[in-house]
């Protein structure tokens, strides 16, 4: 379902100038795909869609340049490795300790993983809190972070 919905989203932005998530929801509905704004927002993030200025001078969703996306992902992974001091989980929450000022960047790197089990993240100055769907997801995320963290 998710893959087919995301495929429809890519078709839509290839054919139409979509400026807002509301317009995206309407275009999906017209194609027989019912969705929510939150789901469309996650799809946009996972597909790494960006807003660009179209020929008419208005913003529209478009696919990011793959080289640009790869470079951004690589930089976020590096920020995580360099900025993370430690992490642990309790129930469905993962807490990440970072160097001062790097919690927002570490949150961005975790959000960029595109994990559906991540409900959201909040960053302070040196602490990030990631809320997951359940305890098993939190444990799995910690295992992934351990592999990425290798010091």
Same CATH topology for 2-63 and 67-149: the answer is: no
**Which pTM value belongs to this model?**
0.53
CATH 3.40.50.300 fits 2-63, yes or no: no
pLDDT digits (tens, 9 = 90+) for 2-42: 788 988 999 999 999 999 999 999 999 999 999 999 999 88
Q: In whole angstroms, what is the distance from residue 141 CA to residue 45 CA?
A: 19
CA–CA–CA angle 28, 30, 35 (5° rounding):
35
- What is the signed CA dihedral for 50, 13, 9, 42, rounded to 10 degrees? 20
pLDDT digits (tens, 9 = 90+) for 116-132: 888 889 999 999 999 99
| Unique residue bearing structure tokens 């478009």 | 62
Second CATH level (architecture) for the domain 67-149: 2-Layer Sandwich (3.30)
Structure tokens given for 91 = 């129930």
Where are the chain's structural domains?
A: 2-63, 67-149
């Amino acid at each position: 379902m998710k893959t087919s919905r995301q495929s429809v989203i890519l078709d839509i932005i290839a054919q139409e100038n979509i400026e807002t998530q509301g317009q995206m929801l309407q275009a999906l509905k017209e194609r027989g795909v019912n969705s929510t704004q939150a789901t469309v927002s996650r799809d946009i993030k996972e597909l790494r869609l960006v807003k660009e200025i179209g020929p008419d001078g208005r913003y529209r969703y478009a696919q990011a340049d793959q080289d640009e996306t790869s470079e951004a992902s690589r930089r976020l992974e590096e920020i995580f490795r360099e900025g993370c001091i430690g992490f642990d989980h309790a129930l469905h929450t993962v807490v990440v300790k970072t160097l001062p000022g790097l919690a927002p960047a570490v949150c961005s790197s975790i959000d960029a993983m595109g994990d559906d089990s991540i409900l959201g993240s909040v960053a302070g100055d040196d602490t990030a809190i990631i809320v997951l769907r359940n305890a098993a997801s939190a444990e799995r995320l910690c295992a992934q972070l351990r592999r990425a963290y290798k010091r």
